[in-house]
Amino acid sequence: MDVLKRNNVTISGKGKQPMLFAHGYGCDQNMWRLITPAFENDYQIILFDHVGFGKSDITAYNQTRYNSLKGYAEDVLEICQELDLTNVIFVGHSVSSMIGVLAAIKEPTLFDKLVLVGPSPRYINDGNYEGGFSSEDIDGLLESLDSNYLGWSSAMAPVIMGNPNRPELGEELTNSFCRTNPEIAKDFARVTFLSDNRADLSKLKTKSLILQCSEDVIAPMSVGEYMHQHLPDSEMMVLEATGHCPNLSAPEETIQAIKKFLQNQTLFMSKVEEVS
């Protein structure tokens, strides 16, 4: 199967270094529309849809392949290989943050930096680890999703968005959820909310930025701090933005945080080159 068609890959931008943007649960590449224009002059912008979402080829969906985040990470690597990408800056939102981490662990030479927006290695509390949800919470969430997906979407999307004074944002996320095939959405929800990638964090060698919203019910501050403590070469920026989707609710702040991270790295490398 054509990898680029499978994942509805689109390419733009005037630069040479690739920035690969990966959307979160229930979304598609359109969720980056307020972010990518700021990088188009300096980077090659690559967008895609996870299989089963957006305009991806739904016939490519395979429950066996996508029964863990590793299947989605394989898709990321296949896109990179098909386009012959190197030195990739990967920008992942929510669950796609961990998909990017897994991809970079498997093929570290492909990636230059990772930008992780609202990441979480595990959503369920475990001993001293505070993931934000109890097992009962997640069981109830998945049961509600199974019994009434559209109702669940209408109730959960505004909570995830977390900006009640801007209802149009919650409405956009609701509509995105509702456009998704319910059966695939249910599968991906289980894979997302039941995953535990804490043991993988120490394996990442790629430099990463954790973008943590000041208030986020899906990935609370305790999770961002855990990520920062356990990712070997990471920086963490706490945004004033609230909710789980700063790419939509606070695009300018998100853009500036990413640019600061990328520019600092470039300046550091320049100084090293001057010394050498």
The residues carrying an active-site annotation are: 94, 216, 244
| Exposed e or buried b per residue across 177-211, where buried means at least 16 C-beta atoms within 10 angstroms of its C-beta | beebebebbbbbbebbbebebbebbeebebbbbbb
Query: Considering all CA atoms of the chain, what is the largest pairwise distance in Å, rounded to the nearest integer?
Result: 62
Which tokens is 182 given? 């319910």
Residue 148 CA to its chain's centroid (Å): 25
**Residue 88 Rama label (left phi>0; alpha psi -120 to 50; beta):** beta
The DSSP secondary-structure symbol of 45 reads: E
What proportions of the chain, in percent to the nearest 5, are helix, strand and coil?
50, 20, 30
| Amino acid in position 6 | R
Measured CA to CA, the distance from residue 19 to residue 15 in angstroms comes to 10
